[in-house]
Amino acid sequence: MRLFVALTPPAVAVEELVAATGGVRAEHPELRWTPPEQWHLTLAFLGEVGDREREDLVPRLGRAATRHPPLTLSFASAGRFGDRVLWTRVRGDVDPLRRLAASVQAAARRARLAVETRPYRPHLTLARTREATDLRPVVEALEGFSGQGWEAAELHLVRSHLGAGPGGGARHEPIEGWPLTGRPQGSPETSAGWPR
For 12, other C-beta atoms within 10 Å of its C-beta total 11
Residues 152, 38 contacting (CB under 8 angstroms): no
Please count the residues of this chain forming the interface with ligand 2AM, following the rule CB under 6 A.
5
**Interaction between residue 21 and ligand 2AM (CB under 6 A):** no
| Ordered strands of the 2-7 beta sheet | 41-48, 2-7, 154-161, 171-179
Q: Give the type of residue at 88.
A: T
**Interaction between residue 125 and ligand 2AM (CB under 6 A):** yes
In the complex, least distance from residue 127 CB atom to ligand 2AM, rounded to whole angstroms: 10
For 183, other C-beta atoms within 10 Å of its C-beta total 12
Q: Which 3 state secondary structure label does DSSP give 15?
A: helix
**Interaction between residue 42 and ligand 2AM (CB under 6 A):** yes
Give the C-alpha separation, 12 to 2, whole Å: 28
Is 123 annotated in the active site? yes
Catalytic residue selected from 28, 40, 68, 172: 40
Classify the C-alpha dihedral 108-94-18-11 as positive or negative.
positive
Is 40 annotated in the active site? yes
Residue 17 phi, psi (nearest 5): -70, -35
> What is the contact mask toward ligand 2AM in residues 70 to 109, using x (rule: CB under 6 A)?
----------------------------------------
**Interaction between residue 45 and ligand 2AM (CB under 6 A):** yes
**Interaction between residue 8 and ligand 2AM (CB under 6 A):** no
Catalytic residue selected from 28, 68, 123, 172: 123
End-to-end CA distance of the chain: 51
**Interaction between residue 160 and ligand 2AM (CB under 6 A):** yes
In the complex, least distance from residue 163 CB atom to ligand 2AM, rounded to whole angstroms: 12
Q: Which 3 state secondary structure label does DSSP give 89?
A: strand
In the complex, least distance from residue 17 CB atom to ligand 2AM, rounded to whole angstroms: 14
Q: Which is nearer to ligand 2AM, 58 or 85 (CB)?
A: 85
Which residues are known to be catalytic? 40, 123
* Residues found near ligand 2AM in the complex (CB under 6 A): 4, 42, 45, 125, 160
